[in-house]
Amino acid sequence: MKKILFFAALFLLFSCGSKQENSKDTAVVSSLIDYSDLPAFSPLTAAVDSVLLNWPTYQALDSRMGALSLVVSVPDLKILVAELLEKEQSILKEGYPKAFNLPAIKSRQRVLRTFLLKAQAQILLDQDPRGATEEVIVAFNALRDQMNLLLAPKIDLNNLEDEF
């Protein structure tokens, strides 16, 4: 009987040790991510590009957003999201160009900040941040699309004539 208890205790001891090693391996594997298939960024029109040349704080945010598809690990993503939040905050402090100093742009920037904070929270809670990262890109594309819309050529309906 003593031999059976001894072997059972040894079996339990060795079986517990192998589970701890496996959990360490999965933690290392889960910290690696592949964001190469994230959605592409919306293109900007020439009119928007000409205004953005004089807005360096937005250019800094725009250049760092491109790094999202290059991220390979969760710690890298954590650093990038913190940096993007700083760049977004600097836009609020420095202000907007006259063409973009509108509630439509400011509200889309707030949505971008919200999803950046959501991604940061998911990273800190050890959850998968992929969904929040895709939402960040969608919000950034909405900001870019709104800029394109604001500076799009306007059609004067009074100059249109009926040909009937």
Confirm if 12 and 112 have CB atoms less than 8 A apart: no
Establish if 164 belongs to a structural domain: no
Q: Which residue has the tokens 């704080």?
A: 57
Please state the domain count of the chain.
1
* 28 occurs within a structural domain: no
Residue 102: inside a domain, yes or no?
Answer: yes
Which residues of the chain, if any, have pLDDT below 50? 18-29
**Residue 15 domain-assigned?**
no
> How far is 117 from 29, CA to CA, in rounded Å?
24
Q: Three-state SS for 78?
A: helix
Please tell me the predicted confidence (pLDDT) of residue 11.
Answer: 63
The answer as to whether 13 is a domain residue is no
- Give the CATH number for residue 59: 1.20.120
pLDDT for residue 76: 93
Alpha helix segments (H runs only) across the chain: 2-30, 46-52, 56-65, 74-94, 103-124, 130-150
What is the domain range of residue 125? 44-152
**6 located within any domain:** no
Specify if 92 maps to a domain.
yes
Q: pLDDT at position 18, please?
A: 46
The reported pTM is: 0.75
- The pLDDT score that the predictor gives to residue 34 is 80
**Structure confidence at residue 121 (pLDDT):** 96
Domain contains 25 = no
Q: What pLDDT is attached to residue 32?
A: 81
How far, in whole angstroms, is CA 97 from its chain's centroid? 24
Q: Which of 34, 28, 96 is nearest to 61 (CA)?
A: 96
